[in-house]
Homo-oligomer: A and B are copies of this chain.
Amino acid sequence: MVRNSSLSGFPEFLPQERIVELHILDIVRQQFELHGFSSLETRSVESLQDLSGKGETDKEIYLLQRLQNETTEKNLLNNQIGLHFDLTLPLARYVTENFGHLNFPFRRYQIQKVWRGERPQDGRAREFTQADIDIVGEENLSLKYDIELALVIIKTLQTLPIPPITLRINNRKLIEGFYRAIGIENILEVLQIVDKMEKIGSQKVFKLLQEKTNISAKQANFVLQLATIKSAGTEFVEQIEALQISHELIEEGLYELETFVKTTKEAANTKNKTLIVDLSIARGLDYYTGTVYETTMLGHENLGSICSGGRYANLAKTAKKTYPGVGMSIGITRLVSRILNTNLLTATRTVPTVVYIALYEDKQWVTAQKVANFLRNKNISVEVAVKAEKLGKQIRYADKRKIPFVWFINLDGTHEIKDIRTGKQQNVKIETWTPNEEDLKPQILATQQI
């Protein structure tokens, strides 16, 4: 169980918890790179103008102000910079600034902190780490990339030591076409309410639609009929066609979603519930224009989505060109906090150290450093005792940290090693000794069936 942080919304982990987080981050990075995505890191700040361009999210922005800057209230908002609240806006800005130096389609991943000033709650921090993956095209971007992104994310999340995931997809064209065809004008307003389906159920959604929008009961019924369609295969096509509503955007969306599902199922190792078409997925306020994605973790559906995203027809725009993009973002802090809070995973030790070199005499310290460096050159993490204290005390030092091996340099120049888990001690040669593969790094173990 992660302790409460001393500043609400700004979580911090203990070293053994950080080992679990690093393990997750390392796998994510490795998978992204294995799929040919380049690392990118953007500055943490954007201009207020860019940050507030996205409408209602500007409530959550942290502005920066230099302590000694004598700024009046009035010009506080001019030329201001603030911390980014996601990694999509920075990507869009980066592309418009650097398009001449990039190869398109531009495949990048980005693992960074983001900040939102909203009220902290379970799964929602003020400072948190996101792992984003996007493909940005020049003028156009094939639907294949939407499918490829799903494949990358499914592979990545299935490689992590976490419960099975369900990737739920939808297509904005389909919803928008449907809403337009039945005469709904305030599409975003309706979408925001439909987005709450999972949390509050369809009856309450119906009620909210009646209270907060000007659509009729008949329209609201159609909206609900569409939003309750779910299918693991392509059954959704028939179910939607049965509603007998037609619009060219519906055709387009249906084609895209059907192609998506068919192709993904052929290409990926998708078990029963890995990929689901869910017509209630709306992604609220975000301006997606095609595919939208959300991901839940089995048994942790109440956590909300751990990986979301979608397609933007105009992710970035320059005077001459538009840059469409498709991307997804893994909520690392949300995921890792849940893993730690529910004890899903633990690290076998609190330090990277494999070998602790004990000292019989203080003057062995220099020799011990040389032995340590010899082992480090073989990629073995080593720490050297600082003082020739009683051996029992030196062994306890290692034991407390769960360092598996204590090394002794005998006064005759030979070496011995003790596995402090078994107590077994034996003679070794520094040239040939090497630990088992599984002792080389702290192991991350599942503490229950996942």
Q: Which residues of A contact B (CB under 8 A)?
A: 3, 5-7, 10-15, 18-19, 21-22, 33-45, 47-48, 52, 58-69, 73, 81-83, 94, 97-98, 101-103, 105, 107-108, 113, 115, 117, 127, 142, 144-145, 148, 151, 155, 263, 266-268, 350-353, 365-366, 369-370, 373, 376, 379-384, 386-387, 400-401
Contacts and interface: CB of A to CB of B under 8 A. Distances in A.
Contacts of A11: 43
B97 A82 contact: no
A18 B40 contact: yes
A13 B144 CA distance: 29
Contacts of A19: 38-39
Contacts of A127: 43-45
A30 to B, nearest CB: 8
A142 B14 CA distance: 25
Contact of A383 (B35, B43, B63): B35
A43 to B, nearest CB: 4
A38 B382 contact: no
Contacts of A61: 66-67
A350 to B, nearest CB: 7
B36 A13 contact: no
Given A7-B45, A15-B39, A67-B82, 19 more contacts: A3-B98, A10-B45, A14-B102, A18-B41, A34-B352, A35-B383, A36-B382, A45-B127, A52-B67, A58-B67, A59-B67, A62-B64, A65-B65, A69-B117, A144-B386, A144-B387, A151-B369, A266-B366, A267-B370
Given A12-B43, A66-B62, A365-B144, A6 B97 contact: yes
A351 B36 contact: yes
The 7 closest A-B pairs by CB, nearest first: A36-B383, A10-B43, A36-B353, A33-B352, A66-B117, A15-B38, A267-B369
B67 A64 contact: no
A58 B69 CA distance: 11
A105 to B, nearest CB: 8
B34 A381 contact: yes
A9 to B, nearest CB: 9
A142 B65 CA distance: 41
A107 B351 contact: yes
A38 B351 contact: yes
A67 B103 contact: no
A386 to B, nearest CB: 5
Contacts of A40: 15, 18
A269 to B, nearest CB: 8
Given A38-B352, A67-B61, A351-B36, A15 B108 contact: yes
A354 B13 CA distance: 36
Nearest to A380: B34
B10 A22 contact: no
Contacts of A62: 64-67
Contacts of A155: 373, 376
Contacts of A43: 5, 7, 10-12, 127
A142 B381 contact: no
Best-buried of A62, A82, A101, A108 by chain B (most CB within 10 Å): A62
Nearest to A45: B10
Contacts of A366: 263, 266-267
B370 A117 contact: no
A6 to B, nearest CB: 5
28 contacts: A3-B101, A7-B47, A10-B44, A12-B41, A14-B98, A15-B38, A15-B40, A21-B41, A36-B352, A36-B383, A43-B127, A44-B44, A44-B115, A45-B127, A52-B67, A61-B67, A63-B65, A63-B66, A64-B64, A66-B117, A73-B73, A113-B113, A144-B365, A148-B369, A155-B376, A263-B366, A267-B366, A267-B369
